[in-house]
Structure 1
Amino acid sequence: MELPADGELPSLPQVVLRALEACRGDADYRDIGRIISADTALCVRVLALANSALYGRPGEINSIDQALQRLGTNQIQALIITASLRQLLFDLGADRWQQLRDFWRHSLTTALTARALGRLTGYPNNEEAFMLGLLHNVGELIALRQPTGENQQALLDNQTEMGARLAEHWGLGQMAVDAIRYQHAPAREIRDAGHLVKLINLSTRLALADSSGIEAAQTIFGLTSALTREICARIEREVSSVAQSLEIPLDGPFDGESAHRRLFNRVVRTALVEQAMQTLPAQSTDTELLVTALRNLVTLTGRPGLVFQEQDGVLRLLAATRTSPPHIEVPLDNPRSLVTRVATLHETEALAADNRTILDQQLLDLLDCASMMCVAVNGALHCHGVYVIGLDASGDAEDSQVLLDLFARRVADLADTLELDTRAHSDEMLEHLARRIELRKRVHEISNPLTIVRQYIHQLQGKLASLEGSESLKPDLQILREEMDRAAGLLERISESDSTDDHAGAPPLDLNSELTLLCELFEDALFAPAHIDCQPTLTSADTHVRATRGPVRQLVMNLVRNAVEAMDKGGQLHLQTAAPVWQDGRQWVELVIEDSGEGIPESVRNRLFKPVRSTKGPTHSGLGLSIVKQLMDDMEGIVSCKTSDRGTSFRLLLPAAPDSGKYDREAHEEPGQ
């Protein structure tokens, strides 16, 4: 029986729609992961990609969390968008929608039950149990796509074996394959089977509300009937909660056409906005971008528009489509009009008929419309501005809002990129200085022995001056000294030139060496001007990490720069390394960066490591911690934070390089040893 492609399995449209909305919003990979974990087809796509040879280590991933960490946020978002497009190809009838809903409910119930039983019985990997519970009946999902008839029935009759073969194809390991293959085996026959096999077998029975499930719980794990019923009741409440959050009705008939149409409309609008963005020429400033994008918005919506730019707490009208823009500047300290409320609250809003200010009426006159809608161009850095479009009295405000939100989000992304390019230029300057310092250190190390040799030549010339017959040696010694001087001059010129590093195929990075170099760089560029006392405490143990210089340097730069900005009146900065550190069965190198500032504000703590509007003023991005989190995810590291009014401490666990001690040994070995 031929195995299906990983992308040919249908999902409930409500789940895909919610995942797509999460990708378009500010959700991080954990938020997206919780949505993916509620759907078998999405899990299949994520798992198959993470375990593919594209990522170099097939067959190691056995949980959704591990898969998300390996793929990274950008890849996950691309996968979700692709899944939303594929979902539009699935044209299921009313009876199939209900079957798909029932399949979803059963698989999620099995997964949650397997996780709960795993915790209760001491299984070491509860997320693996959850994932296998979600995938145990994937063969049934394959059959749902087939027309009614012999082929579909053949798939249903062999769905268990199909699921086992897929688990083997995904490289989940023999225990996972057996867990799917023996999910319907009699309880008495699996009492001495592997732990995972018993978990999936019992979870499947309990999810089906099989009358023999209570008895099987006693047979397999020795659980009392009262405890088993309590677990089942708790899982049922949890499934209901998840269904409610995704707007999936569990009772009565189910028809997914409405959600399918909403998904279709969302995908079409997204495609329209993306097409509008592709025709947008490159801009060099926020102001140019906002004005140029207004033309695209008018083309996209077919409605007149205005655009305001926010600067220093004031909204300034930049452009209008039906007339030359008059001079309008609106302070944001008293947000009564629609445009100022939207700029302050960052929520898209249409004008209410009974709540109009004089400014609202002036803007309506500029638009020559009965009503209007405003949306904030709210990026990760800050609110760049506000777009206003005119509406007819009978216009579809809800339909316009979806399109307007998508458009403003993409303009905000482009505006953020413009500012990040400026920040990146600053980082490039620091990188350039770092290379210069490193090159000068190397030149200095070479110059030291040259200086000693030159000094000995000078002394030798003095000694030979008093010896008879030494006149013939003086020209040779003078030539030697001149050549030494020339070599020293060449080294000096090299030290004044730029250098580049090629890290392709480079060995693991020595974290201590990198920190020593960066601290020397930061001393003059950051610490001294801000009156910061930096105290590095570097372990004597090996600190080679499985990472390249660029990401590690950007991590440290972002955290150190944030720390310096947090201590605007000076203070103490402490950098500390430790190795080896053991956590989750892996070996890490620990880096702690601690400042004595006033701590992270409460409003920022609640969205730590997500892009937020900076609390430090217009010159600060607010993106530093988001970038740190993304970099750590990409290198499969762990980052945590402690903060109070006495300071903030970031703890980074970087993956230790395997057998990294050999690099120290090789560095000190002579050729041929």
Structure 2
Amino acid sequence: MTVTRHQQSPSPDLQLPSLPELTLRALEACRGEQSYRQIGEIVASDTAMAARVLALANSALYGRPGEIRSVEQALLRLGTDCVHSLILTVALRQLLFNLGADQWGQLRDFWRHSLTTALTARALATLTRYNDPDEAFLLGMLHNIGELIALKTEDEHLKQQYLDQQAEIGANLTESWGLGPMAADAMRYQQASPADIQDASHLVKLINLSTRLALSDAAGIAAAIRVFDLSEELTHEIRLRIDREVEALAQTLSIPLREHYDAEPGQQRLRHSLISQALTNEALSLAQQPDIPSILAHAVSGLTLLTGMPCLSFGAGDDGLTLMATSQGDLASMVVASTPAHSVLTKAFAGSGPVTLEDDAPTVLDRQLLNLLGTPSFCALPVQAGSDAVGVLVLGTNSNEDPSRDLADMYARQLSQNVSRALREHQDSDLERSTEHNELRRQLHEVSNPLTIVRQYIYQLRNKMEDPGVQGDLDVIREELERATNLLLQVGRHSPEDQEFDRILLNDELKPLADLFEETLFANGHTSLNLNLCRTPTWISGSRGSIRQLVINLVKNAVEAMPAGGDVTLRTTAPVIQSGSQWVELVIQDSGPGLPANVQHQLFRPVETTKGSHHSGLGLSIVKQLIDGMEGIISCHTGDTGTLFRILFPMTADDDTDTHR
């Protein structure tokens, strides 16, 4: 049943103590990678672990409730990783129970009685041909769970209330776990008289009689005769066999059944060997998530496993705090503003530590969260990456002093470390990809430069050849080399990393290009290059690769348009004021015959150029795309005395050190 602010009833997913020897045995089975059946036998022999596994397997986290009827089925549904984490966290939770010597003795006696009842129920179910002996065993282990709740309860009035209502508590819990109405009735009527259950269902009779036989008194023998018509001799034989089975298991676990029981040695072993393992295993499962939203969503399951209480997770974004995951029910669509910090949730997000719902009047948002959690109180724990909060975990609690808080705080701190680690790994991965891409771009540039030089030498060789056929062949070779160069440059440009612009001094990019041109395009002596760079800073925001590509394309076009020779000028001016903004101007001018009419009519779109009928004029269209990508402007003036391209790049301030976009 669900805990509310108006009831003092236990939550369905209970945090109950186990004998440390049983917990250790279950952990050893997990470490040894034993089968589900072997692990299930250990878990099923402990009321606390069985209840925990059953409640979780029948929760909304793992599908529809009411489909699990045994511990082994529950373990199969949960899966290996979840089972191991669950048992590990049960052991960790065990360390929080502050039981006295008398209480540990009572817990040992409780375990012996529960196991005896369960084994008896299974034996009777087999003997009387009940269709599911494992179900009878499970209910036998859980039948007096109210007594276990009372054992760990400090408030004497509440303790007595649990003891008085333990049959009803067991029925309610069984029903909430989806075990069905017949199972709930078996728990509810476990203390009814034999006469009252004479015509009750088979399962009710099994649990009722098993609880009586586990007490080893004459009343149990008499009840066996009346309920199932079992002879006294057969009943004695069943009891002796069950007693021997319980004693054998206790001996293998080093649990004394007749002497004083001291739990401290077992608790010490748990304390020294399991805390670090618990946190490490949880951290490993979380670290495998690819991003922060996945980590926050996964954390809900982890925190629910760890504390046994309902949990919510919120992720931080531009819109505020968004509900990412919930451990129970459907995920509601919920986005709340992260400021101002009035509620428990927003206070935790704004701070660096957990915040608890105190006795002050809760805000409307606090009440909404209480409704989603179904608990009397809750605490909010920030999840941080370094000093920045990236989300908040909200844990339902039974009170402001709930011991789950300390465990949840430990979990949230470990989770924050995992988030920080995931961010660092993501940044390292981005850096590695960027480095690889930069290396590719460098190699493409190294390949494209020699191709440009080869093209120029082919051009010079062509002018020296008199055979028209050879000249045509050289034209084809030069055109294909140019096509390959353009493809290489586009491969280097079409990448997400190219959208990250650098702060560039345009003049510094033009100087090495001019040296390259002098050695290649202008090496024949018929064409000259004039470099006229302004003295003022020419800071722009752009891609160095794009700058080089557009300048090479325009200069190469200019040279090839002047086969008889001429002049090409590169000139910069800064700043240029236009439309109220400052720009850096780049002018590329030649003294050639001007652009032909068909190119002028479709300027900056692919057309057939003056370079030959076999070449598709992609150069100017690529230039336009590159300039548009840097939010620049290009214009052209052409005539009989030459062609001038004027390019304006947005100018960045001298002291602007962050112009990436």
In the superposition, the TM-score normalised over structure 1's length comes to 0.40
Larger CA Rg, structure 1 vs 2: 2
In the superposition, the TM-score normalised over structure 2's length comes to 0.41
